[in-house]
Amino acid sequence: MLIGLRSAHAEEPAPVPPPSAPPPAVVDPADDAEPGVTIEVFADPAVARARAQLFQDLKDQGYRKGDHKDDRTVFKSYVPYHPRVIVHDDGWVYLQREPPRVHIPGKTFSDQGAPANYLWCILAPTACVSIGGWMVGPRKYQAMEGDILDAVHQDVNKLNDAVARKQLELRVNNDIPADCEQIWAQALPAEARRRLLYTYWDTRLDTPEGDIARAAIMRFIRGEVMQSAAPFSAAEVAEMNEHRSCRMAFDPGATP
């Protein structure tokens, strides 16, 4: 079961083709990202705090932290039939039925003792196996899931928000300026390059995140294009505003 998640690229729209075929630079890398892609966000203090709080609350719910493998951390309950919790680096969290587990007879999962104790399993194999959550009925399992979700959903939302803010910050400060520079450096006529930059600006969604992305594109247009030997003309700006798809006016000549 997935727990309330938000995209880190909320400003990204469906591609809108410009009048001429766009070069690869116009295509937003986030549009083609595969689900579950690893996002390195541990260095951000807000993300680290939100992640630590979620981990602590899971421990308070009777979970122990497992190994971090690939892009996820697995939490297993001390109760063998409770679902495990999978926390991905990009903020995705979901629950999974606990499979059968092997343990020392008479010991809890948190107190396994010396490896030699597993020799008892040779004498009593069935006493060493817990069937996990596979034999728990649907109603009981859903009730357990609901209890866990109620306990951690606020922490998951905070983690999602922190990851989304960090990814938007990286996008605005790094990815978008790089995209704009690549477009403006294309071996195309200045008019075509201006049109591609306008299309990149116009196709952001009408959301707060989209407005932030548009502002980053406009900073490049005002700082580079409008200061070059081939700025947007008044006629171009009027024509683009007449046919634009977003609510924000295209005004590269305004003072920032």
Instruction: Please tell me the pTM assigned to this model.
Output: 0.54
250 part of a folded domain: no
Phi/psi for 117 (5° steps) reads: -65, -20
Structure tokens at 161: 């928000």
Structure tokens at 125: 């194999």
Phi-psi region of 113 (alpha: psi -120 to 50; beta: other; left: phi over 0): left
2 part of a folded domain: no
232 part of a folded domain: yes
174 part of a folded domain: yes
73 part of a folded domain: yes
177 part of a folded domain: yes
Q: Which domain holds residue 137?
A: 24-98+133-243
199 part of a folded domain: yes
175 part of a folded domain: yes
Provide block-wise average pLDDT over 10 residues at a time, the chain (256 residues): 46 44 39 39 72 86 82 81 82 74 55 55 57 58 72 82 84 92 95 96 90 94 95 95 93 82
DSSP string across 64-76: EEEEEETTEEEEE
The tally of domains found in the chain comes to 1
